[in-house]
Amino acid sequence: MEEAKKIILIVEDEPSLLNVLEEKFTKEGFEVMRAADGQEGLDKFGQKTPDLVLLDIIMPIMNGIEMLTKMREMPKGNQIPVILLTNLTSPPEPSFRKIIGESSEYLVKSDWKLDDVVEKVKNKLAKDNLPTQK
């Protein structure tokens, strides 16, 4: 029996990047949900819980931090890993670390190639799905 596809929610307001990410992850065998802003991302998260969220920080309507904060209050919201993609180059402050949580990571877009992001997602999903030791 074939294993179910992992679902990734990509929340990115730059259409060309959103399209490239969707195409790349689809080719890699993921099911992709997409959203162009934080509010749309939050709505999609509420409709169907993804296995991982790729989330831009600077967006219109609702930014990524607001979306993540609200997502964490939803059922399963604390269990879903998030990879924040941003153009902000300054390192996250400790208070920011507390907001995004332990299961989240922060990547500066200009520092990563597309294949690196895919590999990071695969590693994150594999790490978070390891069976617990008895």
- The pLDDT tens digits of the residues spanning 8-20 come to 999 999 999 999 9
Kindly tell me the burial class for residue 103, based on how many C-beta atoms sit within 10 Å of its own C-beta (0-12, 13-18, 19 or more).
middle
CA distance readout (Å), 82 to 2, 5, 103: 26, 18, 7
Closest C-alpha among 108, 104, 57, 48 to residue 79? 104
- The pLDDT tens digits of the residues spanning 66-96 come to 999 899 888 888 889 998 887 765 555 555 5
pLDDT at 97: 56
Q: What CATH number has the domain spanning 7-124?
A: 3.40.50.2300
Report domain extents, the chain.
Answer: 7-124
- The pLDDT tens digits of the residues spanning 15-44 come to 999 999 999 999 999 999 999 999 999 999
Q: Which residue has the tokens 């180059």?
A: 89
Task: Give the angle 30-50-113 at the CA atoms, nearest 5°.
Answer: 50
